């Protein structure tokens, strides 16, 4: 059986967790958390990195930092996970969905400006599959209209746009370390703060609205409640696990990209023959092999292939149901412009197994079964 995903263990996770046990310090912001912060700042080039319990919570902090209020509008693609929209909806914002590009499934940068109104507060590009959106265009639009940019880089660790790490280009960026991601700690995330004006308040929001971080640095003689906030700190056990994964990130990315390249090579003939379309990476983007997708003729053919692969021991999955078509999306958001590609392309897309321990012969087996399906 070939699973769709298999969470990676690098080998040092248990060693570092045992160190946590020996130090008898389990709550957040201990030594391993601080090492993770330092590593992320050096690796991504962000001004400040803060570990969180999830990418969702990192985005919640971002929404509070931007002072999102009821009646504000936030632009994002509909083809994304609910965690992109929920943090802003919780603050009372109207979610404004924009169509995607069919080649990358990222937000169509050419359609953003038409969705801007006097109520627009922020743009949230989602880097699908670790492939960057057109960030030059998006940042130019944001500067022109005085908008904030929050990058949803949940799938973007060790992926780049023109040499810049994803999540470290906009004003704020959010990463995920869920077990389905390239590196993980079971459940976890991080907020990347690229605009220094947000650093001090982000620490406060993350620490339940207190100035505890300033107290620990000796900047104040006691700590107290100074702002809104919540408990967004992961435990030291999560941070210890995550640090082991950070240390292996280049090896992990190299292996996943090699598997992606193998998929691309062996599925290209099926694409050239018109049976499928395959993943695309623009020239300015360096991806991380997070996922490999193909597109079928329509939703029915996709389900037929899912069933066929499963019967042959291969687990493949479709991905997001567009948010604007969901019950909550209809209540909390609006689709700006025409849904030309979002629904159509989402119904055709199929994700194939992708994980570090996947073998080349398994990739070839998947290809052989796909070829026999189309034959």
Q: What is the CA radius of gyration of the chain?
A: 21
| Cβ–Cβ under 8 Å, residues 293 and 319 | yes
Categorize the per-residue pLDDT at 113 as very low, low, confident or very high, splitting at 50, 70 and 90.
very high
Categorize the per-residue pLDDT at 206 as very low, low, confident or very high, splitting at 50, 70 and 90.
very high
The string of pLDDT tens digits covering residues 307-344 is: 999 999 999 999 999 999 999 999 999 999 999 999 99
Nearest alpha-carbon partner for 54 in 234, 216, 212, 223:
234
Instruction: Tell me how far apart the alpha carbons of residues 56 and 45 are, in angstroms, rounded to a whole number.
Output: 22
- Tell me: pLDDT of 231 over 90: yes
Average pLDDT, stretch 122-149?
98
What pLDDT does residue 216 have?
A: 84
Instruction: Tell me how far apart the alpha carbons of residues 290 and 279 are, in angstroms, rounded to a whole number.
Output: 11
The string of pLDDT tens digits covering residues 243-282 is: 999 999 999 999 999 999 999 999 999 999 999 999 899 9
Instruction: Tell me how far apart the alpha carbons of residues 144 and 141 are, in angstroms, rounded to a whole number.
Output: 5
| Cβ–Cβ under 8 Å, residues 51 and 235 | no
Average pLDDT, stretch 177-203?
98
What pLDDT does residue 186 have?
A: 97
The string of pLDDT tens digits covering residues 341-374 is: 999 999 999 999 999 999 999 999 999 999 999 9
Strand order in the sheet with 293-295: 277-278, 293-295, 349-351
Categorize the per-residue pLDDT at 59 as very low, low, confident or very high, splitting at 50, 70 and 90.
very high
The string of pLDDT tens digits covering residues 22-38 is: 999 999 999 999 999 99
What pLDDT does residue 9 have?
A: 97
* Residue-range domains of the chain with CATH: 13-246 (3.40.640.10), 249-374 (3.90.1150.10)
What pLDDT does residue 217 have?
A: 87
- 3 state SS for the chain: CECCCCCCCCCCHHHHHHHHHHHCCCCCCCHHHHHHHHHHHHHHCCCEEEEECCHHHHHHHHHHHCCCCCCCEEEEECCCCHHHHHHHHCCCCEEEEECECCCCCCECHHHCHHHCCCCEEEECCECHHHCCCCHHHHHHHHHHHCCEEEEECCCCCCCEECCEECCCCCCEEEEECCCCCCCCCCCCEEEEECCHHHHHHHHHHHECCECHHHHHCCCCCCCCECCCCCECCCCHHHHHHHHHHHCCHHHHHHHHHHHHHHHHHHHHHHHHCCCCEECCCCCCEECCCCCCEEECCCHHHHHHHHHHHHHCCECCECCCCCHHHCHHHHHHEEECCCCCCHHHHHCCEEECCCCCCCCHHHHHHHHHHHHHHHC
Does the predicted TM-score (pTM) go above 0.95?
yes
Q: CB under 8 Å to 219, separation ≥6 — which residues?
A: none
């Amino acid at each position: 059986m070939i699973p769709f995903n298999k969470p990676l263990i690098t080998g040092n996770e248990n060693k570092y967790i045992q160190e946590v046990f020996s130090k008898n310090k389990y709550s957040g912001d201990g030594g391993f958390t601080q090492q993770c912060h330092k590593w992320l700042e050096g690796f991504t080039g962000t001004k400040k990195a803060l570990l969180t319990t999830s990418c969702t919570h990192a985005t919640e902090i971002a929404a509070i930092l931007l002072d999102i209020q009821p009646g504000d509008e936030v632009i994002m693609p509909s083809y994304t996970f609910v965690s992109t929209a929920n943090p802003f909806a919780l603050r009372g914002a109207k979610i404004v969905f924009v169509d995607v590009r069919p080649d990358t499934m990222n937000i169509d940068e050419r359609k953003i400006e038409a969705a801007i109104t006097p109520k627009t507060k922020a743009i949230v590009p989602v880097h699908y599959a670790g492939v960057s959106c057109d960030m030059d265009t998006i940042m130019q639009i944001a500067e022109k209209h005085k908008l904030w940019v929050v990058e949803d880089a949940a799938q973007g660790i060790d992926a780049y746009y023109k040499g810049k790490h994803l999540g470290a280009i906009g004003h704020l960026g959010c990463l995920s370390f869920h077990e389905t991601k390239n590196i993980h700690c079971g459940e976890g995330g991080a907020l990347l703060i690229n605009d220094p004006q947000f650093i001090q308040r982000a620490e406060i929001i993350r620490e339940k609205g207190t100035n505890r971080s300033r107290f620990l640095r000796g900047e104040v003689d006691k700590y107290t409640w100074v702002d809104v906030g919540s408990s967004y700190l992961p435990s030291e056990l999560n941070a210890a696990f995550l640090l082991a994964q950070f240390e292996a990130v280049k090896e992990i990315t190299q292996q996943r990209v090699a598997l992606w390249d193998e998929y691309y090579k062996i599925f290209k003939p099926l694409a050239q023959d018109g049976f499928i379309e395959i993943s695309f990476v623009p020239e300015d983007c360096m991806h991380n092999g997070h996922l490999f997708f193909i597109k079928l003729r329509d939703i029915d053919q996709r389900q037929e292939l899912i069933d066929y692969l499963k019967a042959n021991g291969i687990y493949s999955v479709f991905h997001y149901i567009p948010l604007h078509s969901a019950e909550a999306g209809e209540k909390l958001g609006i689709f700006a412009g025409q849904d030309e590609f979002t629904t159509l392309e989402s119904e055709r897309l199929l994700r194939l197994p992708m994980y570090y321990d996947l073998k080349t012969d398994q990739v070839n087996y998947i290809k052989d079964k796909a070829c026999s399906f189309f034959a």
